[in-house]
Structure 1
Amino acid sequence: MRKRKKSTMDDSKDSASKSVSETVNGSHQFTIKGYSLAKGMGPGKCIASDIFTVGGYDWAVYFYPDGKNPEDTAMYVSVFIALASEGTDVRALFELTLVDQSGKGKHKVHSHFDRALESGPYTLKYRGSMWGYKRFYRRTTLESSDYIKDDCLIMNCTVGVVRTRLEGPKQCSIHVLPSDMGQNLKALLESEVGCDITFQVGDEAFKAHKLILAARSPVFRAQFFGLVGDPNIDKVVVKDVEPSVFKVMLLFYFLSEFEE
């Protein structure tokens, strides 16, 4: 029995793909006007922003003037960003900024984006899950700062929802319509549009296109464009061929390879 020669080449083909993780970012500015009137509502009670949408999910900012929990935050204001729509294991990055209203640009920024390499995105398990700070800012310090002006407090909230997609070799299918070039060339020949050569066959004259004939026939290519050919020739006398036979031959050059 003849043994099959083992191939020295690996028949497998190389392939590649790429996982791309990125964030869909959006921001919301939450203004609390009449801050002093919000004080005293009690720990655990909050003022909620309007709902805003980022990355296909709804979000809201919760501001607790007297802290979120009485046992450890009564001296602080608390701020949280909450998932306000249905969702499971929504991964996101966050940033909360107290706006400096003095114009000096000394904003107070708590950014999860800056710590993404250390801790990664925060995962919100369900609607109502929160990310934020129980001790966001000491209340007495806040009230004597430039973050409050005319009894107004401004916060900017940025959410970056993590999206992961897989990229591989892009494949596309192009539907190629059946060629009608043969019919078009036949119509071109019959209309005599652009003809630059005339064949005199007996008493009949047939007009044609030198470039098409040269492409289809090495004899015509040599006659028109060869070393001894004449590209400027515009008339050829054909002898010993019946006009009907020559007409069929001419149609063959303009049609046969394109007809099924």
Structure 2
Amino acid sequence: MSAIASSKPSRSASAIVASTASGYHLLKIDGYTRTKGVRTGDKIKSRPFTVGGHKWHIDYHPNGFNSEDADYISLFLVLDDNVTTAVKAQQRFCFADEVKGQAPSLTSASINNYTSQKGWGWGTWTFIKRAELEKSNHLKDDSFTIRCDIVVIQEYRAEDFTPTAFVSVAPSDLHQHLGDLLKTEKGADVVFEVGGETFAAHRCVLAARSPVFSAELFGGMKEGNTAGVVRIDDMEAQVFKALLCFAYTDSLPKPEEEDVMYQHLLVAADRYNMDRLKSICEEKLCNYIDVGTVATATILALAEQHHCEGLKKACLHFLGTPANLRALLDSDGFDHLSRSCPSIMKKLIAMLAFT
């Protein structure tokens, strides 16, 4: 056999990759009913913003882009830069309160060519019917917020890559196994009594997830009688159940009354020094600040008492609007705040002096 015939064929692989930059812009329509006076075809421009090294703005048409869409709200992303070649980008509009957790994927969105010379952009003529918006939960206190996600395609390049391996590794299912361990109570070695209910759990899991549980179950603060029962006061059973679920699975069940549950969970997370759970509760509660003055006062008090700086800043930002601050001062929420958290009163009084 010749040397040529016995040599192995060479192998190589390459890929063409689209380099991208992504971001999003939140556009709040505050005073929606007043914008309805804008004529069909006319627009209101957002402030400019930057994504992928280019300046953009959003055109908001309260009564549609043309007569055929007069019953709808129209939205368009417009390039604000002067460019010699078209900018390739993808965009998608949605209500900001629809985005939970990870940002929506734009993989299926169309790739559009944006140019500054045309004077118009790409978007949707029929984002939502005004009648539907006015009946929906998106409209609160005559306001709603639009989120525009953008992916800018910056360049195409070729690079080497390793072909797909023959062995496919499944994603981690540790959370599922630990969740099953909690449900089946197999190997449980501690029982908690909370709000008249009992919950079986595993000391090692809880100690690994919370330094407070670690101290209580293994350290000098070790709790529990000879039967291994730990009594927890000042907490509802459903709150502790959600806390256990997070400790085992790093996720939370969907509560019925989200704002109330997240308030209680924030207190519980602070009590057991579970920082990630505490941050999740802070983020969730930011969405309920403008629901009502009583809710805002309660959330602000919690933020102050439990050292939640991000949540506190969100509350004060909302109260930075004179109308919102006056509404709080005239409500029962102010009385609750003054009784439960007097430390924040100086801040509010100072804010009132500048309104």
Calculate the TM-score normalised by the size of structure 2: 0.38
Deviation at 1:139? 0.8
List gaps (5 residues or longer) in structure 1.
1-7, 170-260
Structure 2 partner of 1:33: 30
Hey, what's the Cα distance between the residues in 2 that align with 1:112 and 1:43? 31
Structure 2 partner of 1:126: 116
Give the letter aligned to residue 61 of structure 2: Y
Hey, what's the Cα distance between the residues in 1 that align with 2:63 and 2:134? 13
Structure 1 partner of 2:64: 67
Q: Does 1:83 align with 2:79?
A: yes
Structure 1 partner of 2:205: none
Q: 1:86 to 1:15 in 2, by over 3 A?
A: farther
Deviation at 1:37? 0.7
Residue deviations 1:150-186 (CA, integer Å, cap 9, x gap):
01110111110012243458xxxxxxxxxxxxxxxxx
Deviation at 1:23? 2.0
Give the letter aligned to residue 26 of structure 2: Q
List gaps (5 residues or longer) in structure 2.
161-355
Contact map agreement 2:72 2:127 (CA 8 A) in 1: yes
SS in 1 for 2:63: coil
Deviation at 1:99? 2.9
Deviation at 1:43? 0.6
Residue deviations 1:42-68 (CA, integer Å, cap 9, x gap):
011112111011111111111111111
Contact map agreement 1:35 1:152 (CA 8 A) in 2: yes
Name the one with the larger strand percent. 1
| Structure number with bigger Rg | 1
Residue deviations 1:87-109 (CA, integer Å, cap 9, x gap):
22211111211134xxxx588xx
Contact map agreement 2:88 2:111 (CA 8 A) in 1: yes
Hey, what's the Cα distance between the residues in 2 that align with 1:114 and 1:152? 30
Contact map agreement 1:31 1:154 (CA 8 A) in 2: yes
Hey, what's the Cα distance between the residues in 2 that align with 1:39 and 1:156? 20
Hey, what's the Cα distance between the residues in 1 that align with 2:71 and 2:114? 27
Hey, what's the Cα distance between the residues in 2 that align with 1:155 and 1:63? 10
Hey, what's the Cα distance between the residues in 2 that align with 1:23 and 1:32? 29
Structure 1 partner of 2:21: 24
Hey, what's the Cα distance between the residues in 1 that align with 2:146 and 2:72? 16
Residue deviations 1:172-225 (CA, integer Å, cap 9, x gap):
xxxxxxxxxxxxxxxxxxxxxxxxxxxxxxxxxxxxxxxxxxxxxxxxxxxxxx
